[in-house]
Structure 1
Amino acid sequence: MIKADQIVPYSALYIDMQYRHLFNTLWSYLKPIDQDKYIQQIEEVWLGGLKNQKILVTLCVRASTDLVLQALNWPPGSEVIITGINIPDMVQVLRLNGLIPVPIEVDPHTLGCTLDQFKKFYTEKTKGIMISYVFGAKFDASEIIDWAKSKGLFIMEDEAESFSAPNAKLNPNVDFSTFSFGSIKTCSAFGGSISVIRNNEALYRKMKAIQETYPKWSQRNYFKRTLKNLIPMILLNSRTINRSSRWIFINFFPNWDYKEFVVNSIRGFQKNPDDILQTYRFRVPDPMLVMLALRMKTFDTDQFNMSISRQLVGQSILKKGGLLVPGHAVEDRRFWLYPVVVADPETTYKVLNSRGIDAYMGVTQLDIVESPIGSSYQYPNSTLSYFKNILYLPIHQNADLKSIQRICKEVVEVVEMLKSQHPKL
């Protein structure tokens, strides 16, 4: 039986939300709010007075993408070149809008793509590109963006996983960006996305006109979701409760995958099976707007940067131990998830969990993007070769330095142990 003091008091799942934000959101149900006032607050914090840029607030990043694609109204069969690791729902949004997503390889060291790859898959049908910065690694895409501009392509950046801070420097050469600010470390529990439209007043007006035809998402449903996520927050984010509850799971329910259960219970929006796009075609409820505005106003940049510096210490330990940390070579490094590539993720996962380290695998929303059916485009096999061996570590912004060091050292130790037992690994 594993002892309680052996358990690292951080869960693989972590809800990136403070109780004051949650309770202020609940308080907002008691009185009507001025939506324009809160949107203006968000705009002031996010854009910092930048001109020629507009924002729209939507339910989620998928909703933002669907909105801009409706406004662009490209001919059916048009192609969009996208990074080969993405959220399946994003790919589905493209396809349901009549477009063909063309995936390209993602380099394991930068989690980025090369200009040559974009050029290779560029055709007369290409209308735009979508660059997604996954796992918090924001690679330098300036060369790709300049080339896309020269070809007259529309440029979309999905920065949901590379968030650094409100009013962070935005790339003026990108046409459209989406940010997720109400996120948790494995899925969107509370929703909320901010779209930035640059230098295109006509596009902004089209998107806004379409959005205004949507009904408002039910405040009752959002209230139920908020209450529903309160219990997971208490169980996952409290060090004491987390340690105690996981001790019970490990010792008395070793075969129960609580992580999969929690993720499925709080993940995203319930899809409409008859019309999946209709799932996202709603305006945000008032409490979600309050939550987004409050989180941006109270964001502590210094604390955030300190947490990143602690997480980079762990990355250094893993690299010195000979392990690949996807995105390690990128200077602008954040950690939305904390991935490491191991030869045998399933066995490593089991050993680490038996040692009280709550590693996890297979519950993230990200996946490999399939190539178009019947096409000559190449499947991103190089990306798949390391993606299938990724293990996620219980390291997030609240994890203390000592725990991060222990987690990473034990990962290196376990990998070496398994390698000595099975040399072929």
Structure 2
Amino acid sequence: MIKGDQIVPYSALYIDMQYRHLFNTLWAYLKPVDQNKYIQELFFLQIEEIWLGGLKNQKILITLCVRASTDLVLQALNWPPGSEVIITGINIPDMIQVLRLNGIIPVPVEVNADTLGCTLDQFKKFYTEKTKGIMISYVFGAKFDATEIIDWAKSKGLFIMEDEAESFVAPNAKLNPNVDFSTFSFGSIKTCSAFGGSISVIRNNEALYRKMKALQESYPKWSQKNYFKRTLKNLIPMILLNSQKINRSSRWVFINLFPNWDYKEFVVNSIRGFQKNSSDILQTYRFRVPDPMLVMLALRMKTFDVDQFNEATQRQIAGQSILKQGGLLVPGHAVEDRKFWLYPVVVPNPETTYKILNARGIDAYMGVTQLDIVESPIGSSYEYPNKTLSYFKNILYLPIHQNADLKSIQTICKGVVEVVDMLKNRNPKL
């Protein structure tokens, strides 16, 4: 029987949102917002001058999510069906679906475990006359140096897209001016997809921006009623997950009284993303941002605490050192620009390790992240990213986020090393 004080008071699931953001957003339902004025006064001023470091010749669009941004740019580019885009081999399945439904063939390349990045040789290997662009996605908060890849793509006349949803940390952002199109979320490294919101940056292409803007303005506005329901629905998970005392006691109940119930998957599925339109999946994303979502994004941007974030990152890196010293692989550990969207660690036997850690009060989880391996095109000669799969399938996610204190992080990481060593000694072949 697990005692309450043995449970590490942090959940693997965490909604990165402050209650003041949530409650202030509710006022937007009572007081109408002039979107154009709001964007002009709050977004463009702060994004261009503070968050993006004054990059020139850029245009900005606010969208529901990164998938909506990608769908919008693909519509505007209007490439011939069967065009190919070379992409990093770990991504969100919905993003791959957006590419395919727009007639684009995503061609994945291997992702190195140490850097969570790709090499230029891999991109060159899959370059053909059908290649129209590349998409670089930085995952788990690790931003590898893609300068060489971007310069090569530029020399080939390819359209360059960067998905920074899991790596963007403004106002310390380092955006490559040679990228044609970037999408990112802001406010923190682990934005809450439950509340939506994304920023698109189009560089040096006024015509493309105008096409995207015209398309977006033809969309209906996403229902404020639906967003209101989502806001209230996510209030309860926030209380259960983000409060240390409530989280500790509720997990004691789950562990001891409902040991076979996968509450993590239940919670993630209840707050994740947008309800898909089964008859037309792309239609899921073809809406303008509702006023309350705009208010939420602005509040998160204005209240982002850089010092607090950097201090949290140092605590998380301290835990990474413990795992590495224990002989475990932390994907992305070798990257200088290392933050944590999720906290992954590769273990030999993830399912057994998961069960033991949870029984010991460490709320690890597996299998409920949105990320997955991108499969090669059906019937093609392209290679499946087997090297990436070899470590990706063994990833566990640890309950370490920006609010986790150093002592708890050390306890969690030492506990993981101890369990893995125990399993190795029990089964030396692991």
TM-score, normalisation: structure 2: 0.97
Counterpart mapping for 1:159-178 below 5 A: 159-166=164-171, 168-178=173-183
2:108 counterpart SS class? strand
CA contact (8 A) 1:182 1:192 kept: no
Alpha-carbon distance in structure 2 between the residues aligned to 1:194 and 1:33: 19
Match of 1:356 in 2: 361
Partner of 1:12: 12
Look up the equivalent residue of 1:351 and give its one-letter code.
Answer: I
Are the counterparts in 1 of residues 141 and 189 from structure 2 also a CA contact under 8 Å? no
Give the distance between the partners of 1:82 and 1:45, measured in 2 at CA. Answer: 31
1:46 is matched with 47
- What are structure 2's unaligned runs of at least 5 residues? none
Structure-2 residue corresponding to 1:103: 108
Q: What's the offset of the Cα at 1:37? A: 2.4
3-state SS, counterpart of residue 210 of structure 2: helix
The residue number in structure 2 matching 1:277 is 282
1:53-112 deviation per Cα after TM superposition (whole angstroms, max 9, x unaligned) = 111000000000000000000011000000000000000000000010000000000000
2:198 counterpart residue number: 193
Q: Is the 8 A contact 2:84 2:130 kept in 1?
A: yes
- SS of match in other structure, 1:395: coil
Aligned pairs (5 A) from 1:152-301: 152-166=157-171, 168-181=173-186, 188-301=193-306
8 Å CA contact retained: 2:169, 2:189: no
Q: 1:151 aligns with which of 145, 156, 164?
A: 156
Q: Where does structure 1 lack aligned partners over 5 or more consecutive residues?
A: none
| Bigger shift: residues 177-186 or 252-261 | 177-186
Q: Residue 184 of structure 2: SS of its match in structure 1?
A: strand
Q: Please say if residues 106 and 112 of structure 1, whose CA atoms lie closer than 8 Å, have aligned partners that are also in contact.
A: yes
Shift of 1:38: 2.3
1:16-35 aligned within 5 A: 16-35=16-35
Give the drift of 1:163: 1.9
| Residue 167 of structure 1, CA deviation | 6.4
Residues 96-133 of structure 1 show CA distances to partners (whole Å, capped at 9, x for unaligned) of: 00010000000000000000000000000000000000
Equivalences, count: 425
Give 1:398's aligned amino acid: N
Q: Which amino acid aligns with 1:31?
A: K
Q: Does the 8 A contact of 2:345 with 2:397 survive in 1?
A: yes
Q: In 2, distance between residues paired with 1:184 and 1:229?
A: 19
State the distance in 2 between where 1:255 and 1:21 align.
Answer: 35
SS in 1 for 2:259: coil
**Residue deviations 1:289-328 (CA, integer Å, cap 9, x gap):** 0000111011101111110000000000000000000000
* Alignment equivalent of 2:121, drawn from 112, 116, 119: 116
What's the offset of the Cα at 1:225?
A: 0.2
CA distance in 1, matches of 2:335, 2:299: 30
Give runs of ≥4 in structure 1 deviating > 6 Å. none
- Which whole-Å CA distance do the structure 1 matches of 2:193 and 2:214 have between them? 26
Alpha-carbon separation, structure 1, partners of 2:189 and 2:170: 16
* CA spacing shift, 1:166–1:219, aligned 2, 3 Å: farther
Query: In the alignment, which residue of structure 1 is the partner of 2:376?
Result: 371
What CA distance in whole angstroms lies between the structure 1 residues aligned with 2:356 and 2:57? 53
CA–CA distance in structure 2, aligned partners of residues 242 and 160 of structure 1: 27
SS of aligned partner of 1:80? strand
**How far has the Cα of 1:170 moved from its partner?**
1.9
How large is the RMSD of aligned CA atoms in angstroms? 1.2
In 2, are the aligned partners of 1:317 and 1:405 still within 8 Å (CA)? yes
In structure 1, how many angstroms separate the alpha carbons of the residues matched to 2:118 and 2:145?
A: 9
CA distance in 2, matches of 1:253, 1:170: 46
| 1:375-390 alignment runs, 5 A limit | 375-390=380-395
Which stretch of the first structure deviates more once superposed, 257-266 or 48-57?
A: 48-57
Separation (CA, whole Å) in 2 of partners of 1:109 and 1:66: 31
Tell me, in whole angstroms, the C-alpha distance in 2 between the residues paired with 1:263 and 1:186. Answer: 14
The 1:63–1:53 alpha-carbon spacing in structure 2 relative to 1, beyond 3 Å, is same
User: Is contact 2:85–2:134 with CA below 8 Å preserved after alignment?
Assistant: yes
Shift of 1:28: 1.1
Q: Measure, in 2, the Cα distance between the counterparts of 1:276 and 1:319.
A: 42
In terms of mean alpha carbon deviation, does 154-163 or 49-58 score higher? 49-58
Rounded Cα–Cα distance in structure 2 between residues aligned with 1:184 and 1:159: 10
Give SS of 1:161's match: coil
Segment of structure 1 superposing worse, 412-421 or 34-43: 34-43
Report if the CA contact (8 A) 2:10-2:363 is conserved.
Answer: yes
Answer whether contact 2:187 2:301 (CA < 8 A) is retained: no
Contact 1:79-1:99 within 8 A present in 2 as well: yes
Structure 1 residue 183, shift from structure 2 partner: 8.1
**Letter paired with 2:8:** V
Determine helix, strand or coil for the equivalent of 2:59. strand
- Normalised to the residue count of structure 1, the TM-score between the two structures is 0.98
1:59 and 2:51 equivalent? no
Give the share of equivalent positions with the same residue, in percent. 88
Query: Does the 8 A contact of 1:55 with 1:194 survive in 2?
Result: yes
